[in-house]
């Protein structure tokens, strides 16, 4: 009966309809049905979001090579497996892993997808590690634990619930981990770690294991060439150890794209010198290897074996002997070759006595050695006393320090002197369990696991120690021990480090998290574990206007496949509420900006404790930075780019703001390079993107404006240079010349577009500049960065040509609301019938060769007669009143919309014109879509560092040396920390001020009336000894010393708000309580001085 009911319900929900990559319910109306959907799939041992079986790697029902009769195992210690299907060749799902693939590459991902990983220890650190490894996409992860859930585990183990207390930590974590990635088999094992069992894995990780177990398993792993890692955290202290064997091959030490440069000359010598074209800095280093292609003359170097270089200067380097080669003539490209390197690791036993350290903070150069012995001593302490040192217990700390000294005396590795406070704090922190620290150590360890699987990036050699003891500066030296004792609550691990009073303070905070993407998800997880906003007066607000896409699932771990197309903010908020039911969180779906200042107004910001940015663009970051400076709220800022990340603390009155320093602008491609002389695939892809905008967006947008905006012609008349002509020509093409009536017209248009771009234009270019043309200096025109092109004739049987025609015609059809087609046979039939007129090159056609020529043409005077002629040729807007064209917004992640099809085909055809190496769809999407490469490990790491800084802010630390801005690169690996830059100061009349200071002027006088302009000017003379020479609000100039007298007399008696409204011609909105004024002033000596801005309060 139960089965029949479930079958009936399953049929009614249509739970088995497949798309390309995932199962999608066709009729799920509410959460109750979603829960039932998950239940049905759980009962059938299939994840609710499983891709079709054909898309899934196949494995057996038990671990490969594992014998259920192996010693140390019995029926209660069997391996349980989630996400298991039949064995099949693993595939790399580019839709899911797209951002990660741009960091790791396909080869590394394939190696990872064939790797089995064991993680022993499912505390907060173990779950963080497992989460990141599973998201990355290894073949399988087996989680192991013999311990049961305790209330203190909830301090950082985000996949545990209070209802799990008493159950095995690995057992209850397995299902939740398995939901993260359906391509990864997640197994749980609760038995002893026998040698036969361990041999199944490529990587073994021990989390918070005793030293005796580390040595036993580590030595076995080293002997059997298994990668072995140890990870541990104790409060604000962390440890990582890596042993990848005696012959570990690293295929790419940095992960950076190989450098490529154009060559201008190569000498024929015993130490030949290569010079780069156009004084282009090569960026190579001594010892790098390079190869060459497309060299004319010295052809022996083309596709040569990698040659080791020696840098001679920023534009030159030597490559060894070329005396027996042909003479170099011209052209050529030199490309860096990534050479594999082999590393030798010591076993853990050998490395304990002869450790190699990776420094985490160069300001703490003496710490690794001390912490190396401290972690060993802690294991020994626990073995002797059957417990860890108690929080803030001085006697236990002294016993611990004695053991440290004892081990130091016996050890081959010795520390000359110890920092007594460091060791005491280590003992005090022994029972600490902090979510931000788990994020830091867990993410770094996870990246090391991926390195062990793939050979991509440089691993840690071999010990890494990290501490954040600055967080303890706010904890008094004489803090009462009882304040740090457990109270049987989920925050006991945090209380052990900071105390109960500090915990109450955390719970009462009100924080605004801006963004719920990858960084936002990790931030929210940490806030939930810490308890931010979990008290009666606390609150967390999160806003994000985006919806969840499939590519988000690889990093944004709060989302599941069944969440795709839901709002990010509310989905994330609902998930963290499950992690900590006491968390008070409100989700918004708003963009932050001037348009939402009615929502995020004075009352909202003034009630906040601080802001955490989780944004993906500079503009929004700068806006939030300005708001935080204005409201004097601390801001925590972070960002990632592949394996690189940074963290910045912005603290009122202490540090500079985010906007105080700016990144260098992106290097732009010269117009003439794009239009006529591309020499790299980046140039052809940018040309294709510009073509997309110029064909399918801008003309439709301009045409719609022409039809619907009565002031279109007036706006056009005010434009400069060639812009009016270009806009009118686009309108004419859209509404007259190139307006299709059916899909066949779209196909014919696509062929003619092909002919114009890839044949006619190239023929005209070669007519103007023949292949053998020389410059006035006698050099060949087509040399150096200028590649001589060749024309391409349209061929319907050429797949690339066909792809272009299909994509362009279907996009044209979308613009005009015409039904498109993918019927290749019918399309070919139409294309074969298109007559292409013979092209004849014209004399007198001007082609821009330099950037100056291109700019001059764009700014040339308008030909009024031509403009009038164009206007007359257009149908009247009234006759087109019912017409509306679709201006297409480029969307790179939808593989069905023809956008990327067009970009790839258009770019590769132009690359073929100029004999540039073509790019596949994956690379094209990265460059044309301006995708930011991203991986979960870097995201998790930077958010852990952010939340460590949050502890310091909440403690009220004001010394700038208490804070750490972080810069890191997990690929190298490199970790750099520095004090934030102090807020720069300035002076007027001996008054010092910084960006955090301002003049506060209350506009309402004692009689209830508002201050007028003349009183405002007098106020600054009287109270600040400053004469205002100019006064502005936004873009409106309210007063200046050169204002005409009549106008000045009119303005002086006006109340300030009335004056602002009159000049700006905008009404002040009802939620606005104050205005910001900028002023220029003279001091008492009549000298012009810089002064702060004015906050003018009038409500």
**Coil, helix or strand for 674?**
helix
Alpha-carbon span 334 to 295, nearest angstrom: 9
- Find where tokens 């059957």 sit: 386
Q: Select from 854, 858, 801, 849 the least CA-distant residue to 824.
A: 801
Cis amide bond preceding 462, omega within 30: yes
- Find where tokens 């045409």 sit: 703
Sheet harboring 610-613: ordered strands across? 585-588, 539-543, 510-514, 610-613, 635-641, 644-650, 965-969, 974-978
Query: What angle is formed at CA 214 by the lines to CA 209 and CA 220, rounded to 5 degrees?
Result: 140
Beta bridge partners of 335: 260, 291
Contact between 1032 and 1006 under an 8 Å Cβ cutoff? The reply is no
Distances (CA, A) of 320 to 258, 648, 679: 20, 45, 27
Element (H, E) at 420: helix 420-428
What count of Cα atoms within 13 Å lies in the side-chain half-sphere of residue 1090?
A: 9
**CB < 8 Å & 24+ apart, contacts of 493-496:** 493/124, 493/152, 493/153, 493/155, 493/156, 493/431, 493/432, 493/433, 493/434, 494/155, 494/432, 494/433, 494/434, 494/435, 494/530, 494/531, 495/391, 496/235, 496/391, 496/429, 496/431, 496/432, 496/433
**Coil, helix or strand for 57?**
coil
Alpha-carbon span 724 to 627, nearest angstrom: 38
Alpha-carbon span 378 to 211, nearest angstrom: 9
**Coil, helix or strand for 412?**
coil
Q: Select from 628, 542, 647, 736 the least CA-distant residue to 952.
A: 647
Angle subtended by helix axes 743-755 and 799-815, to nearest 10 = 130
Query: What angle is formed at CA 553 by the lines to CA 550 and CA 558, rounded to 5 degrees?
Result: 130
Alpha-carbon span 654 to 994, nearest angstrom: 9
Query: Could you confirm whether 453 is annotated as catalytic?
Result: no
Out of 672, 746, 788, 1081, the active site residue is: 672
- Residue 76: exposed, middle, or buried by beta-carbon count in 10 A (0-12, 13-18, 19+)? exposed
Question: First and final CA of the chain: distance in angstroms?
Answer: 69
What DSSP assignment string belongs to 846-871?
----SHHHHHHHHTPPP-HHHHHHHH
The set of residues, in sequence order, having a beta carbon less than 8 Å from that of 913 and lying 6+ positions away, is: 758, 762, 789, 790, 791, 792
The set of residues, in sequence order, having a beta carbon less than 8 Å from that of 526 and lying 6+ positions away, is: 435, 436, 439, 943, 944, 946, 947
**Coil, helix or strand for 975?**
strand
Alpha-carbon span 91 to 93, nearest angstrom: 6
Q: Return the CA Rg of the chain.
A: 33
In total, the chain counts a number of residues equal to 1099
Alpha-carbon span 833 to 831, nearest angstrom: 5
Residue positions annotated with a catalytic role: 672
């Amino acid at each position: 009966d139960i089965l029949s009911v479930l079958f009936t319900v399953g049929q009614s929900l249509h739970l088995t309809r497949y798309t390309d990559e995932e199962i999608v319910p066709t009729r799920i109306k509410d959460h109750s049905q979603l829960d039932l959907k998950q239940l049905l799939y759980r009962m059938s041992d299939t994840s609710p979001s499983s891709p079709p079986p054909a898309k899934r790697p196949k494995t057996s029902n038990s671990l490969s090579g594992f014998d259920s009769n192996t010693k140390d195992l019995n029926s209660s210690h069997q391996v349980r497996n989630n996400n298991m299907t039949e064995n099949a060749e693993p595939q790399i799902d580019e839709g899911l892993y797209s951002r990660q693939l741009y960091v790791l590459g396909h080869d590394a991902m394939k190696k990872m997808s064939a790797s089995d990983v064991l993680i022993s220890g499912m505390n907060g650190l173990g779950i963080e590690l497992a989460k990141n490894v599973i998201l990355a996409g290894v073949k399988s992860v087996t989680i192991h634990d013999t311990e049961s859930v305790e209330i203190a585990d909830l301090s950082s183990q985000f996949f545990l619930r209070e209802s799990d207390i008493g159950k095995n930590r690995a057992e209850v974590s397995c299902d939740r981990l398995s939901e993260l990635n359906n391509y990864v088999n997640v197994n749980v094992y609760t038995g002893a770690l026998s040698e036969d069992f361990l041999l199944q894995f490529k990587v073994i990780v021990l989390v918070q294991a005793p030293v005796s177990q580390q040595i036993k398993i580590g030595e076995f792993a080293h002997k059997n060439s298994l990668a072995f890692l140890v990870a541990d955290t104790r409060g604000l202290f962390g440890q990582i150890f890596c042993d990848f064997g005696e012959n570990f091959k690293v295929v790419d030490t940095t992960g950076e794209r190989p450098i490529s440069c154009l060559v201008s000359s190569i000498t024929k010598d015993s130490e030949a010198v290569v010079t780069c074209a156009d004084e282009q800095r090569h960026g190579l280093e001594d010892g790098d290897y390079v190869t060459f292609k497309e060299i004319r003359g010295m052809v022996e170097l083309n596709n040569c074996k990698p040659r080791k270089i020696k840098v001679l200067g920023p534009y030159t380097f030597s490559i060894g002997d070329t005396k027996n080669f042909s003479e170099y003539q011209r052209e050529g490209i030199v490309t860096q070759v990534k050479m594999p390197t082999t590393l030798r690791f010591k076993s853990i036993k050998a490395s304990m006595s002869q450790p190699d350290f990776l420094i985490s903070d160069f300001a703490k150069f003496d710490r690794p050695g001390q912490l190396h012995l401290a972690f060993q001593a802690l294991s020994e302490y626990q073995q002797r006393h059957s417990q860890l040192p108690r929080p803030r217990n001085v006697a236990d700390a002294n016993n611990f320090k004695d053991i440290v000294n004892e081990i130091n005396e016996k050890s081959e590795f010795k520390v000359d002197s110890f920092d007594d406070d460091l060791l005491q704090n280590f003992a005090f922190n022994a029972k600490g369990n902090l979510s931000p620290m788990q994020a830091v150590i867990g993410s770094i360890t996870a990246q090391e696991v991926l390195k062990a699987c793939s050979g991509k990036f440089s691993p840690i050699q071999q010990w890494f120690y990290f501490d954040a003891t600055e967080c303890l500066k706010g904890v008094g030296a004489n803090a009462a021990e009882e304040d740090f004792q457990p109270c049987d609550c989920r925050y006991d691990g945090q209380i052990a480090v900071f105390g109960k009073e500090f915990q109450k303070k955390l719970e009462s905070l009100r924080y605004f998290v801006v963004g719920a993407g990858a960084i936002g998800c990790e931030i929210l997880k940490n806030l939930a574990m810490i308890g931010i906003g979990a008290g009666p007066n606390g609150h967390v607000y999160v806003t994000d206007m985006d919806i969840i896409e499939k590519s988000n699932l690889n990093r944004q771990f709060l989302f599941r496949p069944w969440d795709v197309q839901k709002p990010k903010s509310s989905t994330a908020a609902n998930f963290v509420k499950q992690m900590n039911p006491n968390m008070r969180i409100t989700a918004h779906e708003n963009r932050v900006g001037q348009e939402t200042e009615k929502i995020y107004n004075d009352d909202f910001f003034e009630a906040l404790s601080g802001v955490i940015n989780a944004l993906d663009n500079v503009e929004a970051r700068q806006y939030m930075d300005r708001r935080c400076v204005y409201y004097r709220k601390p801001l925590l800022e972070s960002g990632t780019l592949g394996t690189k990340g940074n963290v910045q603390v912005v603290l009122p009155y202490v540090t500079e703001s985010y906007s105080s320093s700016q990144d260098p602008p992106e290097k732009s491609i010269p117009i003439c390079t794009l239009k006529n002389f591309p020499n790299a695939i980046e140039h052809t892809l940018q040309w294709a993107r510009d073509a997309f905008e110029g064909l399918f967006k801008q003309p439709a947008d301009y045409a719609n404006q022409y039809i619907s905006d009565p002031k279109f012609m007036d706006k056009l008349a005010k434009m400069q240079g060639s812009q009016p002509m270009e806009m009118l020509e686009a309108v004419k093409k859209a509404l007259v010349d190139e307006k299709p009536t059916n899909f066949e017209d779209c196909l014919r248009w696509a062929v003619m577009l092909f002919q114009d771009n890839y044949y006619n234009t190239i023929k005209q270019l070669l007519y103007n500049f023949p292949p053998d043309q020389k410059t006035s200096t006698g050099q060949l025109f087509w040399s150096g960065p200028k590649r001589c092109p060749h024309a391409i004739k349209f061929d319907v049987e050429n797949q690339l040509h066909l792809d272009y025609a299909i994509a362009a015609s279907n996009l044209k059809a979308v613009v005009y609301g015409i039904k498109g087609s993918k019927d290749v046979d019918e399309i070919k039939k139409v294309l074969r019938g298109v007559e292409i007129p013979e092209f004849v090159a014209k004399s007198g056609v001007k082609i821009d060769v330099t950037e100056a020529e291109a700019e001059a043409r764009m700014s040339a005077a308008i030909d009024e007669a031509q403009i009038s002629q164009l206007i007359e040729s257009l149908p009247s807007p009234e006759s087109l009143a019912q017409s509306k064209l679709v201006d297409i917004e480029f969307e790179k992640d939808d593989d069905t919309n023809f956008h990327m099809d067009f970009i790839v085909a258009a770019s590769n055809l132009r690359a073929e014109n100029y004999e540039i190496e073509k790019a596949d769809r994956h690379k094209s999407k990265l460059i044309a879509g301006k995708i930011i490469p991203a991986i979960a490990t870097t995201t998790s790491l930077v958010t852990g560092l952010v939340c460590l800084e949050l502890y310091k802010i909440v403690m009220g630390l004001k010394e700038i040396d208490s804070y750490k801005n972080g810069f890191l690169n997990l690929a190298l690996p490199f970790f750099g920390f520095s004090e934030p830059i102090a807020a720069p100061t300035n002076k007027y009349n001996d008054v010092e001020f910084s960006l955090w200071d301002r003049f506060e002027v209350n506009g309402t006088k004692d009689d209830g009336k508002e201050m007028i302009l003349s009183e405002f000017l007098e106020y600054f003379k009287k109270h600040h000894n400053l004469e205002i020479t100019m006064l502005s609000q936004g873009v409106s100039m309210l007063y200046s010393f050169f204002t005409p007298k009549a106008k000045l007399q009119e303005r002086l008696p006006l109340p300030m708000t009335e004056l602002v409204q009159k000049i700006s011609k905008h009404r002040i909105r009802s939620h606005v309580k104050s205005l910001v004024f900028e002023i220029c002033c003279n001091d008492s000596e009549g000298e012009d001085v810089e002064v702060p801005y004015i906050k003018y309060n009038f409500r």
